C-alpha cells in the first residue's frame, strides 16, 4: 500500500467515477484502475463496486475513505506550502466563481490582480453555486452566491463577502411595472415566474422567500443563466429574479422591481480550500477581494 494508491482511492470516491478521477489526477484510466486493484489486493477484499457508469464504496471502502482523505489533505497542504515558498513571481491562480460574481465582479478583480502580479497565470471556472462547491478540489479560491449550504472539503474556510440584492424584473409594459417599483411576493406570485436552474443561489433564495411568505410559485419557465432569465422575461415568458448587479446597464426594456416590504438580500462568500496553508497568490487574491468590498 502506497500514499499514491490512497490518494487515488480518495479521488475516485470523491468523483464516484474512475475516468473523472483520472482526469483530476492527470493520469490515464488504466493507471488509476491499476492502483485501485493493487490497493484492494492489500486489503484482501473489495473496496468498491461498479454502479452503472460509476463506482460505489463497499463497507470496507467507507472505513478506509477517512484515512485516505486525511492523507490527501496533508499532501495538498504540503503542495500549498511549496507554492507559497516559491513566491509570487510566477505561478497559477485557479479561481472558481458562480454566475453573478463571475459575470459582474470577477473581471474587475482579475484586471486589478493582473496589474499587481502580471506574471501570475489566472484561470477561471464558472457554474452555479453547487457546481463551484463540487469543483473546489481543483481550485485555489472560489466566489459563490450565499453560504455554501453543503459539505465542504476538509480544510476549506468560508469568508463572508459582499452583500447583493435580488430584484424582480418584468418587461417595461408589464402591469407590475406600471404599478410601481416596489412589489410584494403576493403580487409577483400572481404571474408566471421565470426561474434559474436548480443549484442556482438566486433560485434557492427566491424559493425560501416564497415558502416563508406562504405564497405559491407559478413556475412558467426554468432556464440556465442570468442572461437566459433576462431574455425570457423580455420575450414575455413571465417575471424573473436576478441580482441587481446584472441590470445596471439595461436599455429600458426591463423594469427593476424591488421586493417589499423587505428587500431580498444575500451575501456572497469566498471559499478557500487548503486554508491552513494557502498559496501566496490565493492569499493575495483573497486580500484583494476583501479590500474591494470595503472600498465599495
Delineate the domains of the chain, giving CATH numbers in brackets. 3-85 (1.10.10.10), 89-162+267-295 (3.40.190.10), 163-265 (3.40.190.290)
Average pLDDT for residues 27-33, to the nearest whole number?
90
Average pLDDT for residues 275-281, to the nearest whole number?
83
Residue 253 has pLDDT above 90, yes or no: no
Residue 86 has pLDDT above 80, yes or no: no
Comparison of pLDDT for 288 and 225, the residue scoring more: 288
Question: Would you state the pLDDT for residue 89?
Answer: 53
Residue 234 has pLDDT above 90, yes or no: yes
**Residues sharing a CB contact under 8 Å with residue 278, sequence separation 6 or more, in sequence order:** 80, 84, 140, 141, 272, 286
If pLDDT is split at 50, 70 and 90, which confidence band does 88 have? low
Average pLDDT for residues 242-269, to the nearest whole number?
88
Whole-number Cα distances in Å, 31 to 14, 57, 82, 125, 185? 17, 19, 26, 27, 55
Residue 41 has pLDDT above 70, yes or no: yes
Question: Would you state the pLDDT for residue 288?
Answer: 94
Do residues 120 and 88 lie in contact, with contact meaning Cβ atoms separated by under 8 Å? yes
Cα dihedral 138/85/155/287 (nearest 10): -90
Question: Would you state the pLDDT for residue 1?
Answer: 87
Neighbours of 142 (CB within 10 A): 25
Average pLDDT for residues 86-92, to the nearest whole number?
64
Question: Would you state the pLDDT for residue 54?
Answer: 87
pTM: 0.61
Question: Would you state the pLDDT for residue 38?
Answer: 92
Question: Would you state the pLDDT for residue 155?
Answer: 87
Question: Would you state the pLDDT for residue 250?
Answer: 75
**Mean pLDDT of all residues belonging to the chain:** 88
Average pLDDT for residues 217-239, to the nearest whole number?
93
Residue 148 has pLDDT above 90, yes or no: no
Average pLDDT for residues 203-219, to the nearest whole number?
93
If pLDDT is split at 50, 70 and 90, which confidence band does 221 have? very high
User: What gap in Å lies between CA 258 and CA 241, rounded to an integer?
Assistant: 10
Residue 87 has pLDDT above 60, yes or no: no
Residue 190 has pLDDT above 70, yes or no: yes
If pLDDT is split at 50, 70 and 90, which confidence band does 83 have? low
Percent of the chain having pLDDT more than 70?
95
Q: What angle do CA 212, 215, 217 make, to 5 degrees?
A: 110
Q: Are β-strands 264-272 and 182-184 bridged in parallel, bridged antiparallel, or unpaired?
A: unpaired
Residue 285 has pLDDT above 60, yes or no: yes
Amino acid at each position: 500500500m502506497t500514499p499514491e494508491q490512497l490518494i487515488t482511492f480518495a479521488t475516485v470516491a470523491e468523483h464516484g467515477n474512475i475516468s473523472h478521477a483520472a482526469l483530476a489526477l492527470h493520469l490515464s484510466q488504466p493507471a488509476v484502475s491499476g492502483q485501485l486493484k493493487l490497493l484492494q489486493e492489500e486489503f484482501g477484499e473489495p473496496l468498491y463496486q461498479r454502479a452503472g457508469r460509476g463506482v460505489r464504496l463497499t463497507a470496507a471502502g467507507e472505513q478506509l475513505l477517512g484515512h485516505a482523505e486525511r492523507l490527501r489533505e496533508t499532501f495538498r497542504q504540503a503542495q500549498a506550502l511549496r507554492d507559497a515558498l516559491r513566491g509570487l513571481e510566477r505561478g497559477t491562480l485557479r479561481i472558481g466563481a458562480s454566475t453573478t460574481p463571475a459575470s459582474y465582479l470577477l473581471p474587475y478583480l482579475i484586471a486589478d490582480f493582473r496589474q499587481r502580479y502580471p506574471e501570475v497565470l489566472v484561470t477561471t471556472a464558472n457554474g452555479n453555486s453547487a457546481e463551484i462547491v463540487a469543483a473546489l478540489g481543483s481550485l485555489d479560491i472560489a466566489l459563490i452566491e450565499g453560504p455554501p449550504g453543503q459539505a465542504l472539503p476538509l480544510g476549506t474556510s468560508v469568508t463572508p463577502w459582499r452583500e447583493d440584492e435580488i430584484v424582480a424584473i418584468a418587461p417595461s409594459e408589464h402591469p407590475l411595472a406600471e404599478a410601481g417599483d416596489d412589489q410584494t411576493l403576493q403580487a409577483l406570485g400572481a404571474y408566471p415566474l421565470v426561474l434559474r436552474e436548480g443549484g442556482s443561489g438566486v433560485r434557492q433564495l427566491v424559493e425560501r422567500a416564497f415558502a416563508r411568505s406562504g405564497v405559491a410559485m407559478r413556475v412558467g419557465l426554468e432556464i440556465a443563466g442570468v442572461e437566459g432569465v433576462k431574455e425570457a422575461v423580455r420575450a414575455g415568458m413571465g417575471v424573473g429574479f436576478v441580482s441587481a448587479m446584472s441590470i445596471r446597464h439595461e436599455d429600458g426594456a426591463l423594469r427593476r422591481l424591488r421586493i417589499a416590504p423587505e428587500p431580498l438580500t444575500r451575501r456572497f462568500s469566498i471559499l478557500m480550500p487548503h486554508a491552513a496553508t494557502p498559496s501566496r497568490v490565493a492569499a493575495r487574491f483573497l486580500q484583494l477581494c476583501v479590500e474591494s468590498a470595503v472600498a465599495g
